[in-house]
A and B are shown apart, each in its own frame.
Chain A
Amino acid sequence: MSLLEVRGLIKHYPAGGGFFRATGERIRAVDGVSLSLSKGETLGLVGESGCGKSTLGKLIVRLEEPTAGKIFYNSREITSLSGENLRELRCKIQIIFQDPYSSLNPRQTVGSIIGEPLANFKVGAKEAQRQRVSELLETVGLNPEHISRYPHEFSGGQLQRINIARALALRPELIVCDEPVSSLDVSIRVQILNLLRDLKRRFGLSYIFISHDLAAVSYLADRIAVMYLGKIVEVLPTGDLLSGACHPYARGLLAAVPVADPRQRYNRQVVIQGEPPNPASPPPGCRFHPRCPEARQVCREKEPVLQEVEEGHMVACHLVGG
């Protein structure tokens, strides 16, 4: 049984045409996405900037209202929850953002930041809450004695740990991690990736791990979903990524990742040219066709659907499978 299921999710934003002038143009940030996540699983969501991966994350956490489509959590529809029901859902689904600085209130102490969800949901007495905050600090590898410090006294990596502690406070089941390591230094990145990995094992968490960094995603994820211009174009088990990825975009993305081996530098070819088109007016047919090295006539005319090519492996491409 899946913990989370998303069906035909769509989010369109009105595109601004300048002051007081709506153009009727719409940015199709997420344009028909279906996916599922099992309990204890990590789903990696990769794609270039502007492909809608963050919007999808926010939709799942219900920080954004979908234009259409449905979201199920534990088989219960949560798409239009509101008020107290939505508040209750927040205990189960949490989110960690990319920028650890801007997602913490600079005028709150660490103790009050991490304790806020506890106070908000009245989890235990004051003293018990304080105890829990210390415990959380320890869980994420921070010194519990720093409980009354302010965010500016911490480094980026430590701030991200505070964000993680806050997300963990209510013992959630699902955490959406939106580029949690992208703004951190190389040596700190691995610390946080390893922390997320340990926490998952310890608390039986499920993650949706959003990143543009394929290597980081493949380190944590069980399955990987590749997004392009608001659509998922391929979903496959992480282990099959290198050998099995067959959507031309997924392969191009893989080829573009620099390999930390100087002997391999001339084996590489740039496959994908140009940049993603404007999501307000995606190209007809397959959205990737203008950049696709293998595009044919059918790709310009008909939009491919995401279909299973083998168990657990779905691709949306005319050139693959049927």
Chain B
Amino acid sequence: MPGEPVLAVDGLETIFLTRHGVVKAVNGISFALEAGKTLGLVGESGCGKTVTSLSLLGLIEPPGKILSGEVRLNGYNLLSLSQKQLRQVRGKEISLVFQNPMTSLNPVLTVGTQIIETIISHERVSRAEARQRALDLLTRVGLPYPEKLMKCYPFQLSGGMRQRAMIAMALALHPKVLIADEPTTALDVTVQAQILTELRRLQTEFNTAIILITHDLGVVAEMADEVAVMYAGSIVEYGGVIEVFENPGHPYTRALLRSVPHLDRKCETLEHIQGQPPSLLNIPDRCAFLPRCPVAVGECSGPRPPLEAVASKHMVACYQACKVRARELQPA
């Protein structure tokens, strides 16, 4: 039975006002996430994945602006909170792990100090108690010699260890939602496999909902329960991971899935999508994928296709997808 979502995003729209015009980085997206589940947010660079995650935490600064939308966490709207209230929420209810752990850790404080500080700033506990919890966290994310690590500065750790320390810090207050923004992109595959396993184990332990932002479809297939595919600031496909991977409805999703070289499938030539993602500047109100789409017809140049259900728990924003699906469903 589906539970109540811990996080529900509705019609989020974030823009940046630049000299050259309005950049619509996030163009009215909606999704919901249940406790203990993982949503994979996939897309290429510049499609608005990271701006989405920053918007959720209220971290958009001028010239950026959240134009409209709601981010409901525990029933209250994050976007209507004051900065002071937001500070209470960040880290405690919803926290963030970035791609590059070196730039998100403070280089002049030890790892221990940073984790302890996170705990003390949110909870009324003694320093000794916070220290004990920090040690415990470092052990849980699979780091050896936690005592020694507490006294280390970030530059003394390897990339994988830093990312583990970041995850420890992000989970220090048992947040309900963890946003992991390309958490393993900078790491080797062997280390990536370890961190993903660790993340999954911790998720089960704390019942955390994870938004996993990545461009790597392999990582999504490995981790996500649901997938949202983003293109030019909009979600173009949204559904259960198996459904989306096996019956992709949007031509962009299909192309993405086909363009990944598979180890076990030796094929002659991989298909590739022509052209490149559009600029988000002054984006026209029509299907953004149109110029690159292999199945476009005249009708596609109309207004932007809405995200519509093509199957249960599977939505696609494409005029053609619904048609193709309808044709398939109709008895011959």
Interface of A with B (CB < 8 Å)? 48-49, 155, 157-158, 185-191, 193-194, 197, 212, 214-216, 218-219, 238-239, 241-242, 252-265, 268, 270, 272-273, 275
Contact = CB atoms under 8 A, between A and B. Distances in A.
On chain B, which size bracket covers the interface?
35 or more
Interface string B211-254: 00001111111111000000000000000011001000000000
B272 to A, nearest CB: 4
Interface in B128-161: 158, 160-161
A254 B44 contact: no
Contacts of A48: 188-191
A193 B268 CA distance: 12
Interface string B253-290: 00111011111101001111110110000000000000
A317 to B, nearest CB: 17
Contacts of B326: none
B194 interface: yes
B221 to A, nearest CB: 4
A219 B261 CA distance: 6
B42 to A, nearest CB: 9
15 contacts: A48-B191, A185-B45, A186-B260, A187-B255, A191-B272, A194-B270, A219-B270, A256-B192, A257-B263, A259-B222, A259-B263, A260-B218, A262-B220, A264-B221, A270-B197
Per CB-CB distance, the 5 closest pairs between chain A and chain B, nearest first, are: A258-B218, A190-B272, A256-B193, A185-B44, A219-B261
B190 A215 contact: no
B197 A275 contact: no
A214 B263 contact: yes
Given A193-B270, A216-B261, A263-B242, A258 B276 contact: no
B73 to A, nearest CB: 27
A255 to B, nearest CB: 7
B194 A273 contact: yes
Contacts of B263: 214-215, 218, 241-242, 254, 257, 259
Given A185-B44, A186-B259, A215-B262, A258 B215 contact: no
Contact of B160 (A193, A261, A275): A275
B276 A260 contact: no
Contacts of A263: 242
Given A194-B272, A260-B221, A242 B191 contact: no
Contacts, number: 127
Main SS at interface, chain A:
helix
Nearest to A220: B261
A253 B221 CA distance: 18
Given A214-B189, A241-B263, A252-B190, 10 more contacts: A48-B191, A190-B271, A254-B263, A257-B218, A259-B218, A260-B257, A261-B245, A262-B242, A268-B193, A268-B222
A187 B273 contact: yes
A188 B276 contact: yes
Nearest to B187: A49
Contacts of B277: 185, 187
Find the residue from A193, A259, A264 having the highest chain B CB count within 10 A. Answer: A259
Contacts of A242: 263-264
Contact of A194 (B221, B223, B257, B269): B269
Nearest to A186: B215
Nearest to A258: B218
Contacts of A189: 259
Contacts of B215: 185-186
